[in-house]
Chains A and B, each alone.
Chain A
Amino acid sequence: MLARVIEAAGISTVLVSMMPYWSEPFGVPRTLGVEFPFVHPLGHAGDRQEQMKVIREALRVLRDAREPRTVEHLPDKWSGDHEEWYRRWQPPELPPIIAWLREQQRKQAEERREGEGSKP
């Protein structure tokens, strides 16, 4: 959304995204997809070389793209154990929306059980 608003205002944009899946349907002007864990679009904390590589690749996409919905994919894989980083990007406390959704599911399951229990 923000990329579209800024682009429509006359400023060329490029998005570095862990979820380039959304770029084409959402009309994002230019995207560099990165297969990195959430929170880390530009790479590992403290890794200047990796960050610069991703940035320069994003600038290349900005320069070379010729039409909207351009999506290119950085071939680099994330260095680090997948299981560890899968857990590591997630927040220390359960997000309120997830807790709320689980509570709704629990209530619905309870209502279904009560409904089944009251059948003759």
Chain B
Amino acid sequence: MPVDSFMWLPRSLAAMYQGLTLEKEEAPWTFLAKPIEQCRFALLTTAGLYLKGQDPPFDLERERREPLWGDPTYRIITRNVRQEDIGAAHLHVNTEDLLQDMNTALPIQRFLELEEAGEIGSLAPSHYSFMGFQGFPANTAPWRDQYGPEVARRMKDEGVDAALLTPV
């Protein structure tokens, strides 16, 4: 049975989304080149995660001043990250569970376990967090034109074969 995409949304938001006319976008495709057990994986989320004491959080102060804007940048989360190093900056969700267990949305420890068990080839050194609110109406041009390509280049440089994406 299909997932109900609207069951957790406030009714007014659900109604607004369901009323939108969607234009079909192009669909790129890269066949999985290797068995999963040989693939190097990278992880990417939009949970607004960052490394405390090392990177600045996403710019929530600017979003509070300019409610129609959302921070398009990303943060790199390394594979050896500890839970206590993780910060979360996101004004549209409750980040408590992410600060308790990042694997809720960025499953680095889970993938390290898969790597140890040989279920995947390896976990890449770098993983990525964006922050999901991109303005109203949403402006994903910076993701398309700058930050997405930067992340893809870094993934390629690190020999990544496949990526798991987990928007929140």
- Chain A residues in the interface with B (C-beta under 8 A): 1-22, 25-29, 33-46, 48, 51-52, 55-56, 58-59, 62-63, 67-69, 73-75, 82, 85-86, 88-93, 95-97, 99-101
Contacts and interface: CB of A to CB of B under 8 A. Distances in A.
Contacts of A7: 28-30
A27 B165 contact: no
B105 A11 contact: no
A25 B18 CA distance: 13
Contact of B67 (A6, A9, A96): A96
Contacts of A4: 25-28
A85 B5 contact: no
Given A7-B29, A13-B164, A89-B94, 18 more contacts: A1-B144, A7-B30, A8-B30, A9-B149, A12-B163, A18-B5, A35-B3, A35-B4, A38-B8, A38-B93, A45-B97, A48-B110, A55-B110, A63-B36, A91-B91, A95-B133, A97-B133, A100-B68
B119 to A, nearest CB: 8
Contacts of B78: none
B168 A41 contact: yes
A13 B104 CA distance: 19
A100 B64 CA distance: 10
Contacts of B63: 96
B69 to A, nearest CB: 9
Given A6-B163, A68-B27, A95-B91, A11 B155 contact: yes
B25 A26 contact: yes
A27 B3 contact: no
A97 B69 CA distance: 9
Nearest to A54: B107
A39 B64 contact: no
Contacts of B67: 95-97, 99-100
A95 B27 CA distance: 32
